Amino acid sequence: MTFIFLGAPGAGKGTQAEILSREKNVPTISTGNIIRSALKNGTEMGLRAKAYTESGRLVPDEIVIGIIRERLEEPDCKNGFILDGFPRTIPQAEALDKMGIAIDRVIDLEVPEKTIMARLSGRRVCEKCGASYHLVNKKPKVEGVCDLCGGTLIQRKDDEPETIKARLKVYHEQTEPLKAYYEKQGKLVAVQGCETVSDTTRAVLNAIEA
């Protein structure tokens, strides 16, 4: 089975994609993780993407489409996959269609922007192991220190308030039109984000199995 998660930055797509991945036993393909890995490792693609990610802009299609195409050709995708963060534009969706990829459901997670701002601006990650925390919802035992490895907790550039605003602006302009694109194909299901992860998961499962 193949799924796409849509929704604004901070809507919880990544969490729900991972849960659905375990539920359906198919891999989650997150362009955000792929790009961050490339940035950390200093690859050619990562260096090209760096200027875009740090300013909250979308990475150009030719970069993203190339890495997605390569990833979908790997053996673990033969029985299905979940796309988290791709496509983000109409041209990317059209490129995916041209690959001959059949998508079963496109799940649109809808969360108020006020909630998104609070979620992202309060997020902190360990610069050593990557563990994630939150200033309100998931505090570390010692302020600024990772519970798992003792590394320093930092705020990622793309979680700073001004970058979040830029990311939301880009989402509304370039990604939100995908809702209409997939609705015309009869694949879109809208899910309202809930207070808890488990309630949202239940809503997602009900939507795709309806």
- The structure's pTM equals 0.78
- 140 pLDDT higher than 90: yes
Cα dist. 155→35, 133, 159, 163, 165 in Å? 18, 10, 6, 12, 16
- Domain annotation covers residue 117: no
Tens digit of pLDDT for each residue in 65-124?
877 887 888 899 989 999 998 998 999 999 999 988 889 999 999 999 999 998 899 999
- 185 pLDDT higher than 90: yes
DSSP 8-state secondary structure symbol assigned to residue 103: P
- Domain annotation covers residue 156: no
- Domain annotation covers residue 152: no
Predicted pLDDT at 38: 72
Which residues carry out catalysis? 13, 88, 123, 156, 167
- Domain annotation covers residue 124: no
- Domain annotation covers residue 197: yes
Predicted pLDDT at 56: 75
Predicted pLDDT at 194: 85
- 179 pLDDT higher than 80: yes
CATH of the domain at 50: 3.40.50.300
Q: Which two tokens stand for residue 105?
A: 């459901």
- Domain annotation covers residue 84: yes
Q: How many domains does the chain have?
A: 1
- Domain annotation covers residue 29: yes
Which residues form the domain of 107?
A: 2-111+175-209
